[in-house]
Structure 1
Amino acid sequence: MVAESAVTVDDTKIHYRETGDGRSVVLLHGGIIDAAHVSWPQVENRLAPEYHVVAPDMLGYGESELADRSYSIPGHAEVIAGFLDRLDLGPVTLVGLSLGGGVAVQLALDRPDLVETLVPIDPFGLGRELPNGLLSYGLARVQVCNKLAIAAFRRSRRLTRASLDGVVYDLDSLSESAVDAVYREVKRPTAGAAFRRFREAEVTRGGYRTTFTDRFDDLSVPTRLLHGAHDELFPVAWAERAADRIPDAELHVLDDCAHWAPREDPDAVAAHIEDAVDGS
Structure 2
Amino acid sequence: MTLLPHGARSEYLDLDGGRVRVLRGGSADAPPLLLVHGGSNDNAAISWYRMFTEFGSDHSVIAPDLPGFGGTVGIEPLGGPAAQADFLSRLLSGLGVERAVVAGVSMGGDVALNLARRHPDRVRALVLIAPGGLGDRVGNRFTHRAAWWAARMPDPLLFRFSALANRFVGLALRAVVHDVSTMPPEVVAEFRREGRRPGASLGYLRYNQANLGPHGMRNDLLPVVGEISTPTLFFHGERDPIVPLRGSRRAAELMPDARLVTVPECGHWAQLEAHDRFVEETRAFLDTVGG
Equivalent residues in 2 for 1:160-171, closer than 5 Å: 160-171=169-180
User: What is residue 11 of structure 2 aligned with on the other side?
Assistant: 5
Is 1:42 the counterpart of 2:53? The answer is: no
1:33 to 37, 41, 58: 41
User: What is residue 267 of structure 1 aligned with on the other side?
Assistant: 276
User: What is residue 148 of structure 1 aligned with on the other side?
Assistant: 161
Is 1:128 the counterpart of 2:128? The answer is: no
Cα distance in 2 for residues equivalent to 1:168 and 1:68: 29
Cα distance in 2 for residues equivalent to 1:134 and 1:66: 33
Q: Tell which deviates more after alignment, 93-102 or 225-234.
A: 225-234
Question: Structure 1 239/69 Cα, relative in aligned 2: closer, same or farther at 3 Å?
Answer: closer
Structure 2 unpaired stretches of 5+: 1-6
User: Aligned partner of 1:133: which letter?
Assistant: H
Question: Structure 1 147/174 Cα, relative in aligned 2: closer, same or farther at 3 Å?
Answer: farther
Deviation at 1:136, TM superposition (A): 2.0
Question: Structure 1 215/152 Cα, relative in aligned 2: closer, same or farther at 3 Å?
Answer: closer
Cα distance in 2 for residues equivalent to 1:7 and 1:128: 36
Identity percentage of aligned residues: 28
Equivalent residues in 2 for 1:79-118, closer than 5 Å: 79-118=87-126
The count of residues paired between Structure 1 and Structure 2 equals 276
Q: Tell which deviates more after alignment, 244-253 or 136-145.
A: 136-145
2:20 to 4, 14, 22: 14
Equivalent residues in 2 for 1:181-200, closer than 5 Å: 181-200=190-209
- Does the Cα contact within 8 Å between 1:35 and 1:57 map onto a contact in 2? yes
Equivalent residues in 2 for 1:228-247, closer than 5 Å: 228-247=237-256
SS of residue paired to 1:14: strand
Deviation at 1:109, TM superposition (A): 0.6
User: Aligned partner of 1:223: which letter?
Assistant: T
Equivalent residues in 2 for 1:71-86, closer than 5 Å: 71-86=79-94
Deviation at 1:4, TM superposition (A): 0.8
User: Aligned partner of 1:114: which letter?
Assistant: R
Q: Tell which deviates more after alignment, 125-134 or 219-228.
A: 125-134
Q: TM-score with structure 2 length normalisation?
A: 0.89
Deviation at 1:149, TM superposition (A): 4.3
Question: Structure 1 276/30 Cα, relative in aligned 2: closer, same or farther at 3 Å?
Answer: same
Q: TM-score with structure 1 length normalisation?
A: 0.92
SS of residue paired to 1:116: strand
- Does the Cα contact within 8 Å between 1:137 and 1:205 map onto a contact in 2? yes
Deviation at 1:278, TM superposition (A): 1.9
1:179 to 176, 188, 199: 188
Question: Structure 1 85/276 Cα, relative in aligned 2: closer, same or farther at 3 Å?
Answer: farther
User: Aligned partner of 1:153: which letter?
Assistant: N
Name segments (4+ residues, structure 1) moved above 4 Å.
Answer: none
Q: Tell which deviates more after alignment, 201-210 or 167-176.
A: 167-176
Is 1:277 the counterpart of 2:286? The answer is: yes
1:206 to 199, 215, 239: 215
Question: Structure 1 148/238 Cα, relative in aligned 2: closer, same or farther at 3 Å?
Answer: same
